[in-house]
A and B are shown apart, each in its own frame.
Chain A
């Protein structure tokens, strides 16, 4: 069953069809939420909220990229979580963003050293992303971590193409500065000044 058919069946209330779409995009949504929020529990909440909101609003989906539409909802859900965390000081934003990642186990081809390096790099980059302003962080994650095109990023963020390019440039530069300042902490393999 192709995506368009799943969407049209979801619009008529077929929850099974919608759940097939969920299974298709839940990994991407969860990873976006995890990189935006830096906390697995908050990311789970945001992901569940995303798909519940998407199910309720599927009737309003007017075509186009379903992935962009779902990621747009996910981005809004993450913004809401960050806003609530800031407003009510439920948890310090630094703590929220700097919690160590739960990386998947190393596969058979990856040596324990490589797994440890990858884990260290993931933690380091998560810390760097946490230091970016929210709008720049979102664009950097969508473009450089998730590999979306500029047009898709613009759809997800609801901004113009020029804004996306500008935020991406500033976000990358800022992240680069963060990494350079702590380069001695970065594994030698990944250092920027070699």
Chain B
């Protein structure tokens, strides 16, 4: 504004005017400026306008605070067992239980698949009804009979081979056997024995496995619910203010 075409001397003076106004120059620089402004009107006006500006700035009113900025230290909140910090252990616990459940389910599925494949590849569908419908020749080998006039017992097959037609069938040990007992090897059908063992497995070993799977599934569900709860608690958490 007041910057005329002053030479290097004016530029030097104007660079020091601010300090001159603040009275922070040494006496030598101060007298140098005073000598210069006596002869340089542009620098003199520059000085006055700057001085006025500084005076105006001194008059900028100080505003009172709208409120107090005192600091309040929040009381340490007693956190529940499933508060925000419990996420640290909830996450890995949920992951471990979920992985265990998946491994168990996969193992169970694969085991069941292999067993089915093994049974199906044998001598047809072997079921308990198959055991009960044993071929008649084998039954005849096992069924004991008594023939009037003949001492002792003989098998039905022998009685028929000899030509006896009048005989009394004795209670068969095969019929009275518990169904889970192994079938006599006379049948030559090992798959039947395997099928019975399997049947035992389904009833004896399968149920604890199911229980474990159900338990793990429930645990995953509960842990997930706790994680969601803990996350909500964390979002609700307030800062220092």
Contact = CB atoms under 8 A, between A and B. Distances in A.
Contacts of A147: 58
B44 to A, nearest CB: 13
Interface stretch (A1-9, A30-38, A60-68, A80-88): A30-38
A50 B69 CA distance: 9
Given A22-B71, A176-B49, A180-B1, A169 B56 contact: no
A176 B61 contact: no
Interface string B1-39: 100000000000011011100101000000000000000
Nearest to A54: B71
Given A118-B59, A125-B56, A172-B54, A15 B71 contact: yes
A19 interface: yes
Interface residues of B, number: 34
Contacts, number: 106
A19 B58 CA distance: 29
- Per DSSP, chain B at the interface is loop
18 contacts: A19-B71, A22-B70, A30-B63, A31-B63, A40-B66, A47-B65, A51-B69, A51-B70, A52-B241, A101-B63, A102-B66, A125-B56, A140-B57, A145-B60, A147-B58, A176-B1, A192-B52, A192-B53
Interface of A: 15, 18-19, 22-23, 26-27, 29-31, 34-35, 40, 44, 47-48, 50-52, 55, 101-104, 118, 121-122, 125, 140, 143-145, 147, 150, 165, 168-169, 172-173, 175-177, 179-180, 190, 192-193
